[in-house]
């Protein structure tokens, strides 16, 4: 089991990773807790660590991330007399930690939050870093807050039931960390595919640990995305979001960013920021993990106009430029301000 303790903007945060990580909940024995859990997850292993709690099964998936649904969860806290000294637990995938995190952040201006992610994507990304979000008018994450959980518990036993396709979507984000932040992680992924695909415990613990430390260090340096550092986490995401939008969100996020990373690495190489060979390394590692490399392999019709429109509306556009993190060599990156018209041209090439 690994424990990472960090102080983020005066918040003490612990990440506990490994089999048996749920034992960290012992410190909540005398606390009042609202346990929100995905209906698809058996909460009994969490409940045995709690005494004074209410349990609230909730839906998961993007339908859970609607403001009206979030307000229903707020009502449950209110009706049960929760106050700021009490605790909320979010048990589920990234959609659950996003909506419950949002609820925890707005309830009485913030109630203690503990994330227990149950997908790989949740463990390495969504549950860490303090971004919460709900969708609005069919647009993802329009409403959201920055709100740090006190603890993130990544208990590997939850991954036993996770379908391999869901594992792969999380692996796309793990690979991203390797490509732009962490050569050791890249090397580890290159050597341990079989172990990871067969859910070997020590291999999963290693990649979740390395990814968590990578994400936390970026968030620590730029919690609110004001210093152009946190944008590194967006590698593959500018084109990836365009693919998601152009497919009317039928392409899963992990697959969209996989293709996005290939396109953006090609851009970085073409404009001279990436060392020769980076694109090969990017495509090789993604193909090892059976992730898509091209739009064609997604087998979905992409509405290119809609995809390009999404780029124009990207949150990272400033004065006609888009801030993009380009890989320079494996494990390293550079911020480049790309003229929006240049980006659109590259995107069109990639998406057709």
Ligand X SMILES: NC(=O)c1ccc[n+]([C@@H]2O[C@H](COP(=O)([O-])OP(=O)(O)OC[C@H]3O[C@@H](n4cnc5c(N)ncnc54)[C@H](O)[C@@H]3O)[C@@H](O)[C@H]2O)c1
Interaction site with ligand X (CB under 6 A): 38, 40-41, 60-61, 65, 92-96, 98, 118-119, 121-122, 125-126, 129, 131, 133, 140-141, 158, 161-162, 166, 169
Q: In what order do the strands lie in the sheet with 321-327?
A: 317-318, 321-327, 333-339
Q: From the CB of 43, what's the least distance to ligand X, in Å?
A: 12
Distance CA 8, CA 215 (A): 12
Active site residue 26: no
Active site residue 215: yes
Active site residue 241: yes
Q: How far is CA 217 from CA 7, 17, 236, in A?
A: 10, 17, 19
Active site residue 51: no
Angle at 156 between CA 179 and CA 102, to 5 degrees: 75
Helix axes 278-288, 183-191, angle to 10 degrees: 40
Active site residue 131: yes
Which position among 241, 266, 316, 344 bears the catalytic label?
A: 241
Active site residue 301: no
Active site residue 2: no
Q: From the CB of 62, what's the least distance to ligand X, in Å?
A: 6
Q: From the CB of 342, what's the least distance to ligand X, in Å?
A: 27
C-beta of 38 vs 211, nearer to ligand X: 38
Query: 3-class DSSP state for residue 328?
Result: coil
C-beta of 96 vs 274, nearer to ligand X: 96
Q: From the CB of 144, what's the least distance to ligand X, in Å?
A: 8
Which position among 237, 266, 316, 344 bears the catalytic label?
A: 237
Distance CA 203, CA 66 (A): 35
Which position among 210, 230, 316, 344 bears the catalytic label?
A: 230
Distance CA 93, CA 154 (A): 11
C-beta of 167 vs 274, nearer to ligand X: 167
According to DSSP, the β-strands at 317-318 and 321-327 are antiparallel
Q: From the CB of 203, what's the least distance to ligand X, in Å?
A: 17
C-beta of 48 vs 81, nearer to ligand X: 48
Which position among 166, 234, 264, 316 bears the catalytic label?
A: 234
Cβ(147)–Cβ(100) below 8 Å: no
Q: How far is CA 154 from CA 63, 72, 186, in A?
A: 24, 27, 21
Which position among 109, 160, 299, 352 bears the catalytic label?
A: 109
Active site residue 49: no
- Catalytic residue ranges: 109, 131, 173, 215, 225, 230, 234, 237, 241, 253
């Amino acid at each position: 089991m690994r424990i990472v303790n960090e102080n983020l903007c005066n918040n003490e945060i612990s990440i506990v990773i490994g089999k048996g990580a749920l034992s960290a909940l012992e410190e909540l024995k005398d606390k009042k807790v609202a346990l929100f859990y995905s209906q698809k997850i058996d909460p009994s292993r969490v409940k045995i660590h709690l005494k004074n709690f209410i349990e609230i099964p909730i839906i998961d998936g993007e339908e859970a991330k609607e403001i009206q649904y979030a307000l229903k969860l707020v009502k449950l806290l209110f009706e049960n007399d929760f106050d700021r000294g009490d605790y909320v637990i979010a048990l589920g995938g990234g959609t659950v930690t996003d909506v419950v995190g949002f609820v925890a952040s707005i309830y009485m201006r913030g109630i203690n939050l503990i994330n227990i992610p149950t997908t790989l994507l949740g463990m390495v990304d969504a549950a860490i870093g303090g971004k919460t979000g709900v969708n609005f008018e069919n647009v993802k994450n329009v409403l959201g807050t920055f709100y740090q959980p006190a603890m993130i518990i990544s208990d590997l036993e939850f991954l036993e039931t996770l379908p391999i396709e869901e594992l792969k979507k999380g692996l796309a984000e793990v690979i991203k960390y390797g490509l732009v932040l962490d050569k050791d992680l890249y090397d580890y992924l290159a050597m341990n595919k079989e172990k990871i695909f067969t859910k070997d415990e020590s291999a999963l613990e290693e990649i979740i640990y390395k990814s968590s430390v990578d994400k936390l260090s970026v968030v620590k340096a730029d919690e609110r995305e004001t210093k152009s550092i946190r944008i590194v986490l967006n590698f593959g995401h500018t084109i990836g979001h365009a693919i998601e939008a152009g497919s009317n969100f039928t392409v899963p996020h992990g697959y969209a960013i996989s293709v996005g990373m290939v396109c953006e690495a090609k851009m970085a190489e073409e404009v001279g920021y990436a060392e020769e060979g980076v694109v090969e390394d990017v495509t090789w590692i993604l193909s090892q993990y059976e992730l898509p490399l091209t739009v064609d392999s997604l087998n979905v019709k992409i509405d290119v106009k809609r995809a390009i429109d999404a780029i124009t509306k990207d949150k990272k556009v400033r004065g006609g430029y888009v801030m993009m993190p380009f890989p320079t060599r494996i494990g390293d990156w550079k911020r480049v301000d790309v003229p929006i018209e240049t980006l659109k041209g590259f995107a069109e090439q990639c998406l057709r």
